[in-house]
Amino acid sequence: MSVTTHVAYTLDPSASVHPETLGQAPARGRLKGRRIIVVGAGQRKVVDAEPPIGNGRAMSVLFAREGAHVACLDLNKEAADNTVNQIVAEGGKAFADVVDVSDPAAIAPAVARCVKQLGGLDGMALNVGISHGLSLPKMTVEAWDKDYAVNVRSHMLFAKEALEVMVPGGAITLTSSLASQRSGGRNPAYESSKAAQIALARAIARAGEDKGIRCNVIAPGFMDTPMGRDASRRRSDRALTVPFGRQGTGWEVAYAALFLISNESSYVNGHTLFLDGGHLGGVARGA
Ligand SMILES: NC(=O)c1ccc[n+]([C@@H]2O[C@H](COP(=O)([O-])OP(=O)(O)OC[C@H]3O[C@@H](n4cnc5c(N)ncnc54)[C@H](O)[C@@H]3O)[C@@H](O)[C@H]2O)c1
């Protein structure tokens, strides 16, 4: 896979590209024996002939490579099956489960099914996220509520169930976004729901404290995923200022999730890790 660059800078974008960036690094057994649910483990279809890997699929594949048994939850059976097929083809352990997370009644049974099949639960990556992409003047109650049902309510319900059954010392991650901090996309339901996730993660961390269960947030910036490509098609100037002259990859999001869900981050809790090449900190080209 190549990494898409967007501006002809004098810098060399490939200088920041490593085997990990491309999902080509050897596995190191960092999640050996762990049982993990990934919610939003498929990825959307895009028009590109060779689409890049999405965040949820990259997390699922990486967790399995690192030794976890992974339950791949998604609304789209084909998308979840494709993730599982990739894992199994690499010799990993995974299964798919279909759930519409916008249906609150579907979440507890889905967690129960997965925990039964996994034989327990050590970690949960709440990656699912949607956007109707409506600006404030065009916003509808239906679009607002749907974005919040998927991006916030489902995470709350999954975490509530997980805290009941997860082994002490487990970990939960939420996938927020740089959009939680800025309104560049004129996308208020997405931006505010992504900000709500950060407060929700702190509340989950608080609730998990007695069992030593941690909860942290990954907030990606401009990523070259199928979701990122759809966003770039809507707004061609979206990623002009990306640090390093390239967007991030789904693998880079997955490595951050791997750290936060593994015991390597055992004292990191209620934290938001911005995965944006430094963009939020002002490392933005031509900005
Ligand atoms: N450019 C980026 O990729 C970017 C940047 C910042 C944050 N994020 C965040 O990353 C996460 C998603 O990344 P991705 O690359 O996996 O996206 P994706 O859109 O490719 O995949 C999301 C998956 O969620 C599933 N899904 C959608 N609605 C669902 C529902 N109601 N129930 C169950 N599953 C449902 C879809 O079928 C799809 O397989 C989101 O939380 C998003 O906000 C992405």
Structure-block tokens of residue 85: 């097929």
Task: With residue 214 as reference, give the H or E element that holds it.
Answer: strand 214-220
State if residue 265 touches ligand 1 by the CB under 6 angstroms criterion: no
Beta carbons of 64 and 71 less than 8 angstroms apart: no
| pLDDT per residue rounded down to tens, the chain (287 residues) | 555 555 554 678 889 999 999 999 999 999 999 999 999 999 999 888 889 999 999 999 999 999 999 999 999 999 999 999 999 999 999 999 999 999 999 999 999 999 999 999 999 999 999 999 999 999 999 999 999 999 999 999 999 999 999 999 999 999 999 999 998 879 999 999 999 999 999 999 999 999 999 999 999 999 999 999 988 888 888 778 888 989 999 999 999 999 999 999 999 999 999 999 999 998 877 65
State if residue 79 touches ligand 1 by the CB under 6 angstroms criterion: yes
Which residues, listed in sequence order, are joined to residue 126 by a DSSP beta bridge? 39, 174
| DSSP symbols for 33-96 | T-EEEEES-S----S-SSPPPPHHHHHHHHHHHTT-EEEEEES-HHHHHHHHHHHHHTT-EEEE
* pLDDT given at position 138: 97
- Residue listed under structure tokens 């900190």: 281
The 3-state DSSP class for residue 82 equals helix
* pLDDT given at position 9: 47
Closest ligand 1 atom to the C-alpha of 80?
A: 39
State if residue 223 touches ligand 1 by the CB under 6 angstroms criterion: yes
Closest ligand 1 atom to the C-alpha of 227?
A: 3
State if residue 56 touches ligand 1 by the CB under 6 angstroms criterion: yes
Q: Which residues are catalytic?
A: 190
What's the Rg (C-alpha) of the chain? 18
Q: In angstroms, rounded to a whole number, what is the distance separating the alpha carbons of residues 234 and 148?
A: 22
CA of 34 from ligand 1 middle (Å) equals 23
* pLDDT given at position 184: 81
* pLDDT given at position 112: 98
Q: Which residues of 273-286 are buried (b: 16+ CB within 10 A; e: fewer)?
A: bbbbbebbeeebbe
Beta carbons of 174 and 126 less than 8 angstroms apart: yes
**Where do the domains of the chain lie, and which CATH numbers do they carry?**
33-277 (3.40.50.720)
- Residue listed under structure tokens 């999405």: 54
The pTM of this model reads: 0.95
* Dihedral of alpha carbons 217, 223, 226, 230, sign: positive
The 3-state DSSP class for residue 269 equals coil
* pLDDT given at position 221: 96
Closest ligand 1 atom to the C-alpha of 175?
A: 41
Q: In angstroms, rounded to a whole number, what is the distance separating the alpha carbons of residues 4 and 231?
A: 14
Q: In angstroms, rounded to a whole number, what is the distance separating the alpha carbons of residues 73 and 96?
A: 6
* pLDDT given at position 38: 98
* pLDDT given at position 236: 82
